[in-house]
Structure formats: C-alpha cells, structure tokens
Amino acid sequence: MKNSNRELFTRHPGNPIITAKDIPYPANTIFNAAAARLEGETLLLLRIEDRRGFSHLTAARSAGGVTDWNIDKKPTLLGDGNKYPEEAWGIEDARITFIEDLGKWAVAYTAYSDLAPLVSLALTEDFKKFERMGPVLPPENKDAALFGAKFDGRYTMLHRPVPAGPGVGAHIWISFSPDLRHWGDHRVLLRARQGGWWDANKIGLSTPPLKTDEGWLLLYHGVRETASGCIYRLGLALLDLDDPTRVVCRSDEWVFGPETLYERVGDVGNVVFPCGWTLEGDQLRIYYGGADSCLALATGSLAEILDWLKNK
Ligand code: BMA
C-alpha cells in the first residue's frame, strides 16, 4: 500500500459556506445537505434542525454553488407525523438522484421517530412539489441513495441497515426494485472492516453513486469509536459500471477527515458528513456537514481521484 501523503480534496477558503445565521427563519443548525446541478444552478437540500431537535429539509439555490444562496423562506419538506408516523421526530440527510427513465428526482431520506430511523423516498421534478412514497426499507436503516440508471431493468439503491446483536457490523447493502416501492434481492456490498481500521464496525454511504468512465464512484463514511467519542471520516470505492454488485477497488486510507475548527467543534464534534456532490468539468464539489453545525465545501479533480484510487 502506498501512503497517499497527498490531499485529494481542498477545503474552500470561504468555509463554512452556510450556517444557521443564513437561514431566513429560526434554526438551531444546518448541516448534511443533498446537492445537484439543476437548470444552471446548484441546488442543495439542507438538513435544518429546529430548536425542538427535529430536522426538516429546505432547498437552497445558487448559480455559482458557493455564495449568494437563495434559501426557501420556509421549510421545503417537513416530517408529517400525522400521516407518516415514522417521521414524527423529523426527516434527515437527503440524497438526491435524477432517475433517467422517470425524468424525476428521487429524494432518499431518513425518517426518524420512536420506531427508529428508516429509509423513505419521495419524487420531485422541481423541489417544490413532492410525491411522497413513504417508507421503502424498515428500521433500522439510513444512508440510502439511488443510482440514476437501471440495471437489468431494475432500480437500484444502496443503504445501510443496522443489525441487532453484539459484534455484528453495519455494512453498505445493495437492493433492487421493479417499481421503486418493492425492494429485494438484498446483498451486502461493502463491509465495515474490523479491529484497528478507521472504518471498522460501522460504515455508511455518503453521497449518491457517481457514474464515471472507470465505474461508479462511491464516497462513504467510516465511524471510528474512540475513548472521547466517534470520528467520522471518508473513504472511496469504485463499483463496476455494468454490475454494481462488484466492488472494483476501495481505499485503505481515509481521504478526508475532521481537521478544521468547524469540523472538530460543534453540536457533534469530529464529523465530516457529505450527502451531496456535483461535478463541474473535472471538478468534484463535495458539500458536507461540519460537526453537525454548518455546511462546508471541498473540491478535487475527478481524474486525480480516480487515478489515486486505482493505483493506491
Ligand atoms: C449519523 C447521522 C448523521 C450525523 C452523524 C453525526 O448517524 O445521523 O446525520 O451527522 O451521525 O452525528
């Protein structure tokens, strides 16, 4: 194994790019946002936590994707505990994917309640009106995102169930569906490592899978438990372009972790948590939550990242 000793990602000097002060209504924190390029703008679906502790999703739009965010004046998508009991404590951590054959965006998010977190889906064309599909995977499960393409005529989703039982790791799984509602053919895809590894015991998908010439690029988080709490860091993997159940390669080292004050200190310290990225030319832009308290941006060259991952 070669030691990377090289920064694949550069933090934006304007970080954090969005904080609770930018939200046009009262909020405790903003963090973990989905991201996409839409009609010449960057669209973010921000996770905003209110002062009850419940989260909802609010759209923010900006031509440049760094400053001058136009943030919806009120929550864009709120948990609806009356109709959807699994959302009684809010909705969190959206990942958005353009579903090619539907011409619509799929929003996969965590619904949270006394039933434990689970994966719900909604469809939208404009991030103003949403068709809610409700829960698609039972608890405990989160960190889900769809592929934009179908494989053998089936929609495909990555997600992270948390099994009960001591010593059983939480791994990333892949599942298939004929209609986005009924999911099956579940298989474990990427396992948490064990013991001393940075990504031992618990991993989860970060951003939706990104189609590249070399395969589907995955960014995932590893949760390391330490004497002073958890550290959330990021690693990379590549899946076969035609058969996403096949892992082509995976980084041994983490490629990004908490270093700056806004990543180290906040409501939950030592956390970098991306839910969205965009590709502009060769520039990969990762939008990530810092310490569950703000939104930050890091960029890298897709060509360099793929080259590093294949030759690491
Ligand atoms: C995870 C998720 C994230 C959060 C992280 C750190 O389990 O719930 O939303 O950023 O914990 O608190």
pLDDT tens digits, residue range 14-42?
Answer: 999 999 999 999 999 999 999 999 999 99
pLDDT (tens digit, 9 = 90+) per residue, 163-202?
Answer: 988 888 999 999 999 999 999 999 999 999 999 999 999 9
pLDDT, position 5: 52
Q: What is each CA distance from 183 to 33, 133, 150, in whole angstroms?
A: 25, 13, 13
Query: Could you tell me if the CB of 86 is within 6 A of ligand 1?
Result: no
Does residue 119 carry a pLDDT above 80?
yes
User: For a pocket test of ligand 1, which of 203, 205, 271 has the largest count of ligand atoms closer than 8 A to its C-beta?
Assistant: 271
Instruction: Calculate the dihedral angle through the C-alpha atoms of 36, 37, 39, 44, rounding to the nearest 10 degrees.
Output: 40
294 touches 304 (CB < 8 A): no
**The residue type at 31:** F
Confidence of residue 6 (pLDDT cuts 50, 70, 90): low
Question: In this structure, how many other beta carbons lie within 10 angstroms of the beta carbon of residue 219?
Answer: 23
292 lines ligand 1 (CB under 6 A): yes
Q: How far apart are CA 253 and CA 185, in angstroms?
A: 30
The Å distance, Cα 95 to ligand 1 centre, comes to 14
Q: Could you confirm whether domain 10-310 is CATH 2.115.10.20?
A: yes
Query: CB of 87 closer than 6 A to ligand 1?
Result: no
Return the residue whose CA atom lies nearest to atom 10 of ligand 1: 292
Tell me if 268 CB under 6 Å of ligand 1.
Answer: yes
Phi-psi domain of 5 (left: phi exceeds 0; alpha: psi -120 through 50; beta: other): left
Using the mean position of ligand 1's atoms as its centre, give its distance from the Cα of residue 106 in Å: 21
pTM: 0.97
Q: Is 270 in the pocket of ligand 1 (CB under 6 A)?
A: no
Q: Whole-angstrom Cα distance, residue 129 to residue 111? A: 18
Whether the predicted pLDDT of 118 surpasses 90? yes
**Which of 45, 49, 268 is the best mutation target for the ligand 1 pocket, counting ligand atoms within 8 Å of the beta carbon and taking the most?**
268
